[in-house]
Structure 1
Amino acid sequence: MMPVISIILPCYNAASLLPETLDSISKQTLNDFECIAIDDGSTDATRAVLDAHAAKDPRFTVISRENRGLIATLNEAIARSHGGWIARMDADDIAHPERLARQVAALEASGADVCGVGIRFFGERDGVWLPPETDAAIKAALLFNPPFAHPGVMARAALFAQHGYDSRAQHAEDYALWCAFAKAGATFVGIAEPLLDYRVHPGQITQTRRAEMAATGATIRADYARHALPADWPEADKAGFAELAAPDRALDRSDWFTFTAQLVTLAQRDPATRPAFCTVWLDALVRTHGVDWRCKKRFSLLSQQLPPPAEERGKWQRQRARVLAGDAVYGLIKKLRGRA
């Protein structure tokens, strides 16, 4: 009998962190699953840890072979899966016991094809990252970056099999796949609760390959913007939006006014997309230089029209102080506080 869910778990030199991850999978309240764990040519005790756990829990299938990289490993795990749903998991994260059950319930209740969850950071970072909850808001959020963490996603196996991970999207393979799903007409749902503990440590790709991720992300973002932005927008406006949306792009005050005006326009045209923009305008202000009193009116307007979520309250207060003081005075205050 086929399992309801196939969990795909790529592993590379993760022996010290794997036991917690494997235990969190085995303790899921929805227990009708298989876990395809692939040891991607590890040089530590990863294989031994996987074998020991599989000996205790027959739902785990362990594959060990030479190193082929993350994308090849993910696609291999997909090909070996039998479940109607595929759930992602990383070898250094911890799933809450009800994660799989909550995702299946959300997918079945909504009829959606893809479900992301909120995460709680631990290790070298703390805090919470919560996804938008509706299809419209999630697809709008894809204009900027992945709206949920890769290891917290569950989607129909048929979607994974049809599209797969793109070898050209190195270090941004999840972003490319979610955009491919969206362009193919898949529907999304989000659970705005932290159902995965996401470990942050120096060795992970998100910390060591930032420049490559940014470059690949820019290509994906520009392509998706051509698809997702309103059909009556000129191509030049779509390309400009994608450039200003890049999270590593420094903005000047004029850029920020242009970009935030576009966000308001999009939110007004389709109010269902509004939650996707409530943090974006604030993050854009963080990367803007030349902030001064001239930003005050726009800041107040955006705070009303696109109010940031509660978890961003601290950032909002800091940026409000920056707008009121101006960059020159605000920078001096920060410098004096640092000396105190």
Structure 2
Amino acid sequence: MTAPQVSYLVTVFNKAAVLGETLAAIRAQSGGASCEIVCVDDGSTDGSRALLAAEAARDPRLRVLGDAANRGPAIRINQAAQAARGAWLHPVDGDDLLPPNATQWLMAQARRCDAPLVFGRATRGLSDAPIPDSAESRRVTDPLRFAAR
């Protein structure tokens, strides 16, 4: 089996009300990149785990990890990353809504700058409008300045 280009890492804790919309936004990504969707449930009690199981039964690209313990998003995103097979990792929270070309745009920026890491802004309540090709993009010379040292 060929490894996917992109692994979406979806962390989920009690997101049943919006999770279907998040997964639909991931599936609607343009650009034709092959993908997998690695969902990690963090001990949800609202039916999120059952929803994920039903989605995985319908979509062979979707895998579900996690257990009944609530361990927090950092542990769960690391768990998803360890299970991922894609060349690129795209973290997504269980209630995020991606514009339809988000992944395509990020990958284009990575190729343009020959960057091993790209990230975009997170905004709640986005419309389904695509990111314009002219959207601001800048090269960060020290990406670790955003990290604790």
Interval of TM-score (by shorter of Structure 1 and Structure 2): 0.7 to 0.9
User: Is residue 9 of structure 2 the alignment partner of residue 8 of structure 1?
Assistant: yes
How far apart, CA to CA, are the structure 1 residues paired with 2:137 and 2:28? 27
How far apart, CA to CA, are the structure 1 residues paired with 2:112 and 2:60? 30
2:83 — aligned with what? 80
**Larger Cα Rg: Structure 1 or Structure 2?**
1
User: Does the 8 Å contact 1:107/1:114 carry over to 2?
Assistant: yes
Q: 1:67 to 1:55 in 2, by over 3 A?
A: same
Code of the residue aligned with 2:51 in structure 1: it is: V
SS in 1 for 2:121: strand
1:93 — aligned with what? 96
**Deviation of the 1:67 alpha carbon:** 2.2
**Deviation of the 1:55 alpha carbon:** 2.2
**Deviation of the 1:21 alpha carbon:** 0.4
CA shift digits 1:212-233 (9 cap, x unpaired): xxxxxxxx3xx5xxxxxxxxxx
How far apart, CA to CA, are the structure 2 residues paired with 1:120 and 1:70? 18
Q: Which has the higher contact order (CA 8 A, sep 6+)?
A: 2
**Deviation of the 1:101 alpha carbon:** 1.2
Q: Which runs of 5+ in 2 are unaligned?
A: 127-134
User: Does the 8 Å contact 1:14/1:92 carry over to 2?
Assistant: yes
- Alignment size in residue pairs: 138
**Deviation of the 1:119 alpha carbon:** 3.9
CA shift digits 1:90-122 (9 cap, x unpaired): 111101111111111211121011112234432
User: Is residue 51 of structure 2 the alignment partner of residue 52 of structure 1?
Assistant: no
Report the TM-score, using the length of structure 1 for normalisation: 0.38
User: Does the 8 Å contact 2:5/2:33 carry over to 1?
Assistant: no
How far apart, CA to CA, are the structure 2 residues paired with 1:119 and 1:78? 20
Code of the residue aligned with 2:140 in structure 1: it is: D
1:64 — aligned with what? 66
Task: Say which of 116, 120, 130 aligns to 1:117.
Answer: 120
Identity of aligned residues (%): 30
Task: Say which of 22, 39, 42 aligns to 1:40.
Answer: 42
How far apart, CA to CA, are the structure 1 residues paired with 2:99 and 2:59? 18
1:108 — aligned with what? 111
How far apart, CA to CA, are the structure 2 residues paired with 1:36 and 1:120? 22
User: Does the 8 Å contact 2:96/2:124 carry over to 1?
Assistant: no
Q: 1:14 to 1:131 in 2, by over 3 A?
A: farther
What pairs with 1:1-340 in structure 2 (closer than 5 Å)? Answer: 1-29=2-30, 30-65=32-67, 66-122=69-125, 133-136=138-141, 139=142, 178-179=146-147, 220=148, 223=149
How far apart, CA to CA, are the structure 2 residues paired with 1:94 and 1:82? 23
CA shift digits 1:156-184 (9 cap, x unpaired): xxxxxxxxxxxxxxxxxxxxxx53xxxxx
**Deviation of the 1:2 alpha carbon:** 0.4
- Tell me which protein shows more helix as a share of its residues: 1
Code of the residue aligned with 1:59 in structure 2: it is: R
How far apart, CA to CA, are the structure 2 residues paired with 1:70 and 1:2? 25
How far apart, CA to CA, are the structure 1 residues paired with 2:43 and 2:121? 31
How far apart, CA to CA, are the structure 2 residues paired with 1:132 and 1:108? 12
How far apart, CA to CA, are the structure 2 residues paired with 1:122 and 1:100? 18
How far apart, CA to CA, are the structure 2 residues paired with 1:94 and 1:132? 20
Code of the residue aligned with 2:17 in structure 1: it is: S
1:291 — aligned with what? none
**Deviation of the 1:56 alpha carbon:** 2.3
Code of the residue aligned with 2:93 in structure 1: it is: D
How far apart, CA to CA, are the structure 1 residues paired with 2:137 and 2:108? 17
RMSD of aligned residue pairs (Cα, Å): 2.2
